[in-house]
Chains A and B, each alone.
Chain A
Amino acid sequence: MKIKRGRETVVFQIIAMVVLAVCALISVLPFLIIISGSLSNNELISREGYSILPKQLTPQAYTTILRIPESLLTAYRVTIVNTLVGSLTGLICMSMAGYVLSRKNFRHRNIISFLIYFTTIFGGGLVPWYIMISNTLHLKDSLLAICLPLIMSPFMIILMRTFISNNVPDSLVESCRIDGAGEFSIYLHIVLPLIPSGLATIGLFLGLMYWNDWYMSSMFISTPAKFELQFYLYNMLSGFEAFKQMNTASVTESVSIPSETVKLAMAVFVTGPIILLYPFVQRFFISGITIGAVKG
């Protein structure tokens, strides 16, 4: 049996589809231009500008990059390892911190919560932070320097705490203790399985933060083999601009200028994997956003 649809519903659906189609087109167009540009002839782009369909199809940009794929692959490896290690460690640390802070019988929890919260309002600023990491911790040019600073985020700890105290009743923890469970096994076997969507949310936040990070590389890394992917790209694109500005008043020395098409091909290489990953992660991502919206 069919439910009869009213005229207005049909009209609304048509309008909605048209509007959505236009929106989708607007979102997809830049990608199309990037992809078609990366397949075009560089001289034509410079002379006539970009177009939606490639002019003079040529894989030249890709072959240029793939002639020396090592540096790109190294950057990929750094970012992937960093994202995995950082997100996992971060999840463990923050869920533990959140759990401890959610326990009502933890004596100084208010003070400690406040201290964690305090850092979101007042920070030392860039210079002390830099001195801390480079001179006190001696992490300059170490992979730890791009991993450690992002591991703990006050906001996410507080989010985690709220999430745990809302989803894990105190009585459950108490009865576990009566049954003889130790603190760590309560955390591991009782609390963690109860908060999968909380972990997914924080994990996604962290994962995206690590994947998109370039600033840590820029600040602390001087060995190109330790650059994150995003910085590798950013540096390639911005480096020449900066160089040009510095040198407006002096002799331009030979600096190889990446051609337009090579830049675009790089963009394809960098965005490609994360776009392919999206359909699989999207499910969690949507639930993650709702959690953030309600509990944040």
Chain B
Amino acid sequence: MKRRNALRGLIVMALAISPALAALTSCASSGQGAATQPPAASQATSSQTAEESAETSAGPDVSQRVDLEFMMIGDGPKDLDRIVGMVNEKTLEKLNCTIKWNYTTFTDAMQKYNLALSSGQNLDLIYTAPFQNYFQLAKSGAFHSLNEILPTYAPELYAFVPEGHWKGVSVNGNIYTIPCTYKQYLCGGFIYRKDLREKFNLPVPVSMDTIEAYLLGVKENMPEQLLTNEFPMAGVYQFNFSAINVLSMNHTWANDVIYGIAADYNNPNQLTDYWNSDQFVEEMKLMKKWADMGFWSRSALSSVEDMSAMENGKTIARLFGGTVNSVSEYNAAVETTHPDWEFDIFLYSDINKVVYPTHPTQDGIAVPIASKHPDRAVMFAQELIMDEEINLLTNYGIKGEHYDVDADGWYIPLQDPQTSSFPWDGMKSWAWRNPVYMLFPKTDQYKIEMYAKFDEVAGYNYAAGFQEDYTNYQTERAALGTVMTQYLQPLHAGLVEDVDAAVATFREQAKLAGLETIQQQYTEQWLAYIKSLE
């Protein structure tokens, strides 16, 4: 029994050191890749085949049948096999290849990525995202560089994706992933129950004051009702209490004030020290005022995020950056259970005018270095994105069985979304959504209208493309993390007796932790990054 436990202990240890493992495996992956198939050699073969095909026919050579594998995160739909069968029929005819989607599930997805990429197992396509360490993996040589393959084998796709996207996903000048061109917007806002506002005749939340008036009004009329469910956010160096997002309307931050440094969105070269500014003290006083008014629970620092709190009527508002997307979702969620409820959002960007889309790396398709057929993989990716039939099939399922399109062009699910054998987005097709073919349910109407507005004013997402390298100030950073949890979190949540004294203590402790070193190095890196964009 003991030894069995010891074995289990080993496995647990292995899991615990998986971050270290990630670093190791990424080294291993570059080594492995070099050993099994040097990138140079593979490029040579691909250009060779290109020459050959150029001699024999106009299109690329597809005489050899290839079976591709595509690694995805999340869970696939129930009807995956049927859909894949239909896709394969088409691709066999067109490209002489088949595809198999492998879903990792969301459980330990990052560890599975590291294992799959470093073990050199046969993989031809893989979903990439910043939260799946796209930049780190790309830097360590986990993917084929697509610079030459794309124009040769997928010219249509290469032309379809805007230049800025290719630039955005490049690492050291190499394109490692095919970005999704559907733009989404992240600007946060105050989500609240519109029906309550009308019922109690409260002001429309359009500023700090009106948010306050709205919440106070609801509290007076419904004293038992919990207003918000704000929660501490662990392990971040920006805001570490969710409600603090509301402050972003007072600023034009480009980088969420990491380490207290605020880069101005309209002039990203200009950095200010927010934590040491007078405005910081003022805003912390506002947070205390709101906490004292009971806008969030006295035990907020021990609460956790609860996405369904508003759908269930536990809370009635959310200061934590909801997006226009979430309003649509909330409204869809209560459509049948509480038809009299309605959610609305006041966007902080209405005040500060800062709107930016998700970064091009948000969703992408890369070709792992172990792939023996990067050319065919890229050709398949082109079909997946550009071919309307395949694209719709892999995004929404079979028309007439899983979904239908009404007269106005809205997506209508034909099965209960909870149990559907192919729900909207069933294949987690985030990376190959094509804005030209995309279908939306009617509940998304508001989102679409807002996105259209954002399209006109949106700028560049600076923060998401910035790859901070904190190896030089790792110790200071860790110390600062502790200080932030101990001294900044209560300040953010307004749970201190005297704001001025608490701010002074926080500043002092942060300085002791080495804040100045961190800020100095971060600033250098940030400025270099902004320069590289120009």
Contact = CB atoms under 8 A, between A and B. Distances in A.
Interface of A: 42-43, 46-47, 64, 67-68, 71, 120, 123, 125-127, 130-131, 134-135, 140-141, 153-155, 205, 215, 218-219, 222, 224, 231, 234-235, 238-240, 242-257, 259, 292, 296
Interface stretch (B71-79, B86-94, B164-172, B482-490): B71-79
A242 B312 contact: no
Contact of B107 (A130, A234, A248): A234
Nearest to A158: B3
Contacts of A64: 418-419
B4 A155 contact: yes
A242 B109 contact: yes
Contact of B307 (A130, A135, A238, A244): A244
Nearest to B7: A120
A295 B179 CA distance: 60
Given A238-B107, A256-B423, A246 B131 contact: yes
Nearest to A154: B3
Given A120-B6, A205-B4, A135 B119 contact: yes
B325 A252 contact: yes
B21 A126 contact: yes
Nearest to A140: B121
Contact of B2 (A47, A240, A296): A296
Interface string B218-258: 00000000000000010000000000000000000000000
A250 B183 CA distance: 12
Nearest to B464: A249
Interface of B: 1-4, 6-7, 10-11, 14, 21, 24-25, 28, 73-76, 78, 102-109, 112, 115, 118-121, 129-132, 184-186, 233, 305-309, 312-314, 323, 325-326, 329, 337, 358, 362, 416-419, 423-425, 430, 464
Contacts of A256: 417-418, 423
Minimum-distance CB pairs A-B, first 5:
A239-B106, A46-B312, A246-B131, A222-B102, A242-B106
Given A42-B312, A47-B313, A252-B326, A127 B28 contact: yes
Contacts of A67: 416, 419
Contacts, number: 135
B115 A127 contact: yes
Contacts of A126: 11, 14, 21, 115
Given A46-B309, A250-B186, A257-B308, A131 B120 contact: yes
Contacts of B112: 218-219
Contact of A47 (B103, B120, B305, B312): B312
Contacts of B74: 239, 243, 255
B425 A254 contact: yes
Contacts of A259: 308
Given A125-B14, A155-B3, A252-B325, A218 B28 contact: no
20 contacts: A42-B312, A68-B78, A68-B419, A123-B10, A125-B14, A126-B11, A126-B14, A126-B21, A131-B120, A141-B102, A218-B108, A235-B107, A240-B106, A242-B107, A242-B108, A250-B131, A251-B325, A253-B425, A257-B307, A292-B1
